[in-house]
Structure 1
Amino acid sequence: MTTLDDLAVLRTLDPATGADPRSPRAQATLHHVLTSPVPPPARRPRRWVPRVAVGTGLVAAATAAVFLLPSAVGGDQAFATWTGTPSGLTGKAALDASKACRDNSRPEYKKQLATASTAIAERRGAWTLVVLADHQGFGALCITDESRHLFRDQFGAIGTTPGLPAARALSPVTLGTGSSDGRDLSVITGLAGKDVTAVSYASASHGKVVASVNAGQFALWFPGDELLDANRAGVPVQVTYRDGSTATLKLKL
């Protein structure tokens, strides 16, 4: 590597400057440049960019075995059992789904997962959805195909969202499309203001999709990639408030 100082010295050897490059002085200068130790390259200051764990769209996760053995492990192919209106999970089913979400989520959030409560636990056909949350803005989402008895498909998102929405507002946390085993699903989850009692989405492919709303959280999902560009374009949802009034809110991340 040649430094700027070395280049300045080498210019003195250029015949155009009038110096004789064959002279003893020129040869000594050239020898000095070629044998001098090379200084380490200047280190550029590192630019730290904050990483967003959630809010950038759905995070899809699946083990390699799910892709290799789809027929051997069964599963709800093409989301055949999915329903637009969920049923609530209770008792042992809710406990099992919540435990699986904690166990399968990213280990760096182990502490938050241990103290987070189950805000939403629902079922749509063979699929369960769980939202774990605390009061500091942490949340974890797990959507699981419970019909796979060996290796289960699971989609998830996890992270922390600062601040709470206004009483009649929604703050989306997960908005987008995920894919596993050749199947796409679209998801909207987030924080719901204290006056929000119901949320729904009018899907072009599936009609009305009703969200679960509980403990300051809301969540809905449906088959397909309809929300693939929703983060940029925004997506309208219908909201019902505690006083019975309704509104349409456009959600974007």
Structure 2
Amino acid sequence: MLINACSNDEVKYDTAVVKDFQIQLNGEPWSLNTGISTKPIFIYKNDGEFFANYSSHYRFALDNGAYKFIATDIPEQMVPSPVNLNDLIIPQAVNADQPVKISAAMPYVSPFKDTLTMNILTRSGILRLKAMDKTADPAYTYIKTIVKVKRNGYKVADETFVQQDMEVSRTKKTTTGGINYTDDFILFQTDEAANKVSIRIQFLKDNMEVVSTKEISGSFPILANGVTQINLNLNDPDTPVIQNYVATVNGEAYTAKKINQKQ
């Protein structure tokens, strides 16, 4: 059998190796721990068609061409199924219990010589309610908090939010008549004042009969990767609208009057 060797010049490859990339989380270097099999990198063709999902532990080869890369540290939650990038919309979780953390769609063209940086950004923040009551109210045993939001989805392809009203809610049992009640709601960042969230609270018996409903006056900003905390009294009598509270937005405190002046 005669085997003819081919020179490197005669062998043509239509692939290139992606080897120089960095992943950040909110601007800080991020990497997978050794041994973890999570695949944080998603690759799409230039027209948005899903192409591949890779680990960040290794270099990998792609056919020559133009691609778009995204990265997330929670891939199963952010990209649960392979869809066209233009159709990839991350919904606001109805229970307000899922952070949204994903990079922009970064263009990358063969031969992949430049460094590709994928910065995973937190697109959500926390709304925290904390009761400051000293006196219990035995009339109710459950607290249902309903938060009205103006954004119900995040479109990855162009980093925009889907503007549509939506209510998220959670019901929590209390054995202390509201004393020490606290709860966190994970919501999309609001950015503009028109997107601030509003809150009402229902107080229920064991049979889920509503005893009373109270609104919290004003509306509140949600900062990306931040915390908006509202310290309030649930049990003040004759207060269908709660106006006596202190809201702290990323460490800066506002009374109800001051935060309403910022609307």
When normalised by structure 2's length, the TM-score is 0.29
Rg larger in 1 or in 2? 1
Which is richer in helix?
A: 1
Which is richer in strand?
A: 2
